Amino acid sequence: MADLPILSVRNLTTSFLSGGVWKSVVRDVSFDVRPGETVAIVGESGSGKSVTSLSIMRLLAPGFSRIEGSILLNDRDLLALSEKEMRGVRGNEASMIFQEPMTSLNPIFTIGRQICEVLTRHKGMSRQEARAETIRLLEKVRIPNAGARFNDYPHQFSGGMRQRVMIAMALASRPRLLIADEPTTALDVTIQGQILDLIKVLQEEEDMSVLFITHDMGVVAEIADRTVVMYRGQQVEAGPTDEIFQRGQHPYTRALLAAVPRLGSMQGRKWPTRFPVVDIATGETMEPSEVAGTVARGMTPILAVKNLVARFPVRSGILGRQTGSVHAVENLSFDLFQGETLSLVGESGCGKSTTGRSILRLVEPTDGEIHLDGYDILRLDQPGLRRMRKSVQMIFQDPFSSLNPRMKVGSTIAEPFVKHKLGTAGQAREKACDLLEQVGLSSTMMDRYPHEFSGGQRQRIAIARALSLDPKVIVADESVSALDVSIKAQVCNLLLDLQQRLNLAFLFISHDMAVVERVSHRVAVMYLGEIIEIGPRAAIFDNPQHDYTKKLMAAVPVPDTARRGIRRNISNDELRSPVRPVGYQPPARTYRHVSEGHLVQIA
């Protein structure tokens, strides 16, 4: 056993000064990272995983934080170093990449200059040497045509490409340790696959160790040799990734794994199925139940979208002349039946959100027809539009911005009921109480403000508000995407409960294939504003026809350690832009009939 650990953390405790008292947010965390090894720290929000990584780099505000324990990097105690010596460590012996590739590069310098700076500062290279090395690094992170892009600014790169630039910058000093703090969380799933591949390749080539911070068990299974599970500031379990996944000891680990949506877990099941619930105290699992027989097929669809088109002009120049259009939605048609969940899946810019918002006329579509519960949506006047909103409601992605922070939750839930004059104030209050109970909260919470609730609770409140008009259709726009896995499972279960109880139809908009598989009756895959494949869930997931559908599914990380080290060898494609020049006519599309209700675009 020759390998001394690169990084050795012992009894790390980090506290923050808050209101005059020290509160520990990370307690007694110990782990090693050995040469060439990848260690993942996994946990949900508030688990202290990011604070751990920031503590290692000593990037916390000195006056308001206190780090105790020992952090040895290459046998040097980082906590004993002066701030000046620490600067020599950061970006040199250990580098860090962050979650938000959109904001972690300085927008006013070219990317070449930003990487050169690291080289001239830490490695003492001359300008020419640094330039040559920078181009080598950009090639290393597989940026196409690297030499030509040296003088480009960050805004000229896509999110995935920017993350590559960040990685190139982190590698510039040939660090022994790379700390990656949720590096793929903000990226689309196919781009995430590319970046994960890249990190694996680079780790081999450069022989570095990686400390990978993530909330995604799928990513962990795929990339980590060893795993540290954190929960509320404590390290609940640590060990080889296989052990953790196969024989997790702590109930929380098991709960977390049970809550992770797994692609392919629905094989052989007919109906959407609730997530299993694990009691964190005892570790006992309750078997999930199916949601059977809600779909009213054969009747008139509750929502029918025909040839929907939404284009937005792109203007530029002083005179604001139209130079092109964003073809957000192109010739989209689908039906949704009562009690059914149709999922729209796709990556950023595929038009799935625009479709959802067009149905509520929150954006004005360019052309097409939408029939919902007897309303011809696109021909409604203002009063008609307001009446129509009783039939369809929306749940947004971010529970932190979807509730008015200055309004008590009771009023928030009762407001639509009162405004549509569906009853007296007393009835509105009763309704709000009832809805709060229905979504699993207590009616005693009526007089609290949104900031007093957690993200999952807020999303429940948003759902209660959407239900206050007794709508028939709910457009759920990435409604569970921003939630932690365990909360995500609970909210999905809630939506399924409500569907069974109230016979709701959901238009479930999501980029998360695993969740979609769990909750949908039918699935439509969107790409560049068009549906490229639509069909029953089982048909789409078991027998995908379109190349893009296959690629999308291959890119999803699955929490199965057997897949560790897989290379997807996804080509370095970018997501294409839906911006077209003026006068662009989209080609007519034809679809091939695969099986009952399963259609795939062929040209």
Partner 1 sequence: MTVLETIAPLANREPSRAWRKLRANKGAVVGLVIILFFAVLAAMAPLLPIADPLATSWTALRKAPSAAHWFGTDDLGRDILSRMIWGAQSSLLAGVVSVVIAVIIGVPFGVISGYFGGWADLVISRVTDALLALPFLITAIALAAFLGPSLMNAMIAIGLSAMPIFVRLTRGQVLAVKTEDYVEGARAVGLGHLDIMWRYILPNVLAPIIVQATLTVATAIIAEASLSFLGLGQQAPAPSWGSMLNVAKNFLTQAPWMAMWPGAAIFLVVMGFNLLGDGLRDALDPREA
Contacting positions for partner 1 (CB under 8 A): 18-19, 360, 362, 385-387, 389-390, 393-394, 396-398, 401-408, 410-411, 414-416, 418-420, 425, 428-429, 432, 449, 451, 462, 465-466, 468-469
Q: With beta carbons less than 8 A apart as the criterion, state whether 221 and 560 touch.
A: yes
Shortest spacing between CB 419 and partner 1, in angstroms: 6
Q: Decide whether 336 or 462 has the Cβ nearer to partner 1.
A: 462
DSSP 290: B
Q: Residue 361 CB, nearest distance to partner 1 (Å)?
A: 9
Give the residue with the Cβ less far from partner 1, 88 or 384.
384
Which pair of structure tokens corresponds to residue 311? 């284009």
Q: Which residues pair with 8 in a beta bridge?
A: 32, 72
Inter-residue contact 336 to 330 (CB < 8 Å): no
Q: Measured from the CB atom, is 10 or 387 closer to partner 1?
A: 387
With residues binned 3-state (H G I as helix, E B as strand, rest as coil), the percentages for the chain, rounded to 5, are 35, 25, 40
Burial bucket for residue 57 (CB in 10 Å: 0-12, 13-18, 19+): buried
Nearer to partner 1, 414 or 483 (CB): 414
Residue among 223 and 388 whose Cβ is closer to partner 1 = 388
- Please report how close the Cβ of residue 484 comes to partner 1 at its closest, in angstroms: 19
Between 323 and 404, name the residue whose CB sits nearer to partner 1: 404
Comparison of 407 and 562: residue with beta carbon closer to partner 1? 407
CB 259 within 8 A of CB 231: no
Instruction: State how far the Cα of 361 lies from the Cα of 388, in Å rounded to an integer.
Output: 10
Please, what is the minimum distance in Å from the beta carbon of residue 241 to partner 1? 37
Residues 6+ apart with CB under 8 A from 120: 126, 127, 130
**In sequence order, which ranges of 182-268 are alpha helices (DSSP H)?**
189-206, 217-223, 241-247, 251-259
CB of 364 to partner 1, least distance (A): 12
Closest to partner 1 by CB, 462 vs 516, is: 462
CA distance 359 to 154: 35
Report how far apart, in Å, the C-alpha atoms of 13 and of each of 70, 214, 482, 550, 569 are: 9, 20, 28, 45, 40
- 137-142 long-range contacts, Cβ below 8 Å, gap at least 24? 137/168, 137/169, 137/171, 137/172, 138/111, 138/164, 138/165, 138/168, 140/168, 140/171, 140/202, 140/205, 141/165, 141/167, 141/168, 141/171, 141/198, 141/202, 142/198, 142/572
207: left (phi over 0), alpha (psi -120 to 50) or beta: left
Amino acid, single-letter form, for residue 397: Q
Minimum Å gap between C-beta 468 and partner 1 is 8
Task: List beta partners, residue 177.
Answer: 94, 209
CB of 553 to partner 1, least distance (A): 29
Taking the complex as a whole, the smallest distance from the CB of residue 29 to partner 1 amounts, in Å, to 24
Which position has the token pair 């805004």? 155
Which residue number, 155 or 451, has a Cβ lying nearer to partner 1?
451
Residue listed under structure tokens 């008139």: 300
Min CB(10)–partner 1 separation in Å:
30
Least distance from partner 1 to the Cβ atom of residue 470, Å: 12
**Complex with partner 1: residue 199 or 403, whichever CB lies closer:** 403
Q: How far apart are CA 188 and CA 191, in angstroms?
A: 5
